[in-house]
């Protein structure tokens, strides 16, 4: 198999490889680069030596992402800023594009991606490949240059950290929409008490505006219903311009002004209240996102 047949075979696996890379890196641009690098590596080997193309591509993509994560960690002089919000995957409420449907069919929430960012690179690889993509530990171990037992321990440690840190969220879209509508109505109406009522007492707001934005719109992390409600009222103009979309498979808000994305917000919701708000407002990163079709 070479040339065009090989390219067709690779395209059959592209969606899965993109999903692996996105969960590993939290960056859509870096995920695309990792998938392209996997294709380049495939083009340099004899396909006849590959018994399971899908498995080979998955582990190769994982190795590429692991190298990127290790390089990223080595360059980082300080711990990751707790305001960091990974790139969101935005789509209309009823995606018609098969590629978009595939992206959202097995989505991972922004809240989980935030937790994954805090794992060590080796932990993240073991957890993502095994727990999310069912890759056997025997296949992951050579990538990490460890044995299967040590790789299993890495995944177990990562699993505990994910379980302890990931906010639970209501999976029911109808209940999500009720809470989201209440949040939007209170913010747009300037109703502080109604906002506090729809927010969990321990709600966390994480707003990532990038490194260059200063002043009141700078990156921040807030905890507690009243501080978060005050911030929501301060930036109610974004809520006023927002529409409901899918953000990583869950309901969220997209604010577009003059044809440009100004912010993307995802929420975690439990017991009819908002437990987490994740806002990406970094102009550089937002400029690389595609505005989905308006189906609302």
**Tens digits of residue pLDDT in 167-209:** 778 888 889 999 999 999 999 999 999 999 999 999 999 999 9
Would you say domain 3-77+86-165 falls under CATH 3.30.1490? Answer: no
Q: What is the pLDDT of residue 241?
A: 79
Angle between helices 28-43 and 3-25 (to 10 degrees): 150
Question: What does the DSSP assignment read for 104-157?
Answer: HHT---HHHHHHHHTS-HHHHHHHIIIIIT---HHHHHHHHTS-HHHHHHHHHH
Per-residue confidence (pLDDT) for residue 78, from 0 to 100: 45
Kindly report the pTM of this predicted structure.
Answer: 0.87
DSSP annotation of 27 reads -
Which range among 22-31, 208-217, 247-256 shows the weakest confidence by mean pLDDT?
208-217
Distance CA 40, CA 111 (A): 32
Domain boundaries, the chain: 3-77+86-165, 173-286
| pLDDT tens profile 121-155 | 999 999 999 999 999 999 999 999 999 999 999 99
Give dist(CA 294, CA 94) in Å, integer.
10
Q: How far apart are CA 287 and CA 285, in angstroms?
A: 5
Strand partners, 206: 221, 278
Q: In the block, which residue shows the tokens 């879209």?
A: 173
Query: What pLDDT is recorded for position 55?
Result: 94
Q: What is the CATH number of domain 173-286?
A: 3.10.450.50
What is the C-alpha R_g of the chain? 20
Return d(Cα 2, Cα 9) in angstroms, integer.
10
């Amino acid at each position: 198999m070479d040339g065009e047949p090989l390219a067709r075979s690779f395209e059959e696996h592209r969606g899965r490889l993109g999903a692996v890379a996105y969960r590993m890196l939290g960056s859509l641009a870096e995920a695309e680069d990792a998938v392209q690098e996997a294709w380049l590596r495939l083009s340099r080997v004899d396909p006849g030596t590959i018994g399971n193309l899908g498995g080979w591509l998955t582990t190769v993509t994982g190795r590429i992402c692991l190298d990127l994560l290790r390089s990223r960690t080595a360059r980082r002089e300080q711990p990751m800023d707790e305001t960091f919000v990974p790139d969101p995957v935005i789509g209309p409420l009823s995606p018609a594009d098969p590629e978009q449907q595939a992206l959202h069919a097995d989505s991972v929430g922004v809240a989980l991606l935030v937790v994954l960012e805090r794992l060590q690179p080796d932990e993240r690889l073991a957890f993502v490949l095994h727990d999310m993509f069912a890759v056997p530990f025997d296949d992951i171990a050579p990538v990490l240059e460890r044995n299967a037992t040590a790789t299993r321990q890495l995944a177990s440690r990562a699993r505990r950290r994910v379980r302890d840190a990931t906010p639970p969220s209501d999976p029911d879209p109808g209940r999500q929409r009720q809470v989201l509508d209440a949040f939007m109505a209170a913010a747009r109406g300037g109703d502080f008490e109604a906002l506090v009522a729809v927010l969990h007492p321990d709600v966390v707001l994480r707003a990532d505006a990038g490194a260059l934005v200063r002043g009141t719109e700078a990156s921040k992390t807030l905890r507690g219903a009243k501080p978060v409600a005050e911030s929501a009222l301060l930036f109610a103009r974004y809520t006023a311009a927002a529409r409901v979309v899918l953000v990583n498979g869950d309901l969220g808000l997209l604010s577009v002004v003059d044809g440009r994305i100004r912010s993307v917000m995802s929420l975690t919701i439990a017991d009819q209240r908002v437990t987490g708000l994740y806002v990406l407002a970094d102009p550089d990163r937002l400029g690389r996102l595609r505005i989905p079709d308006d189906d609302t």
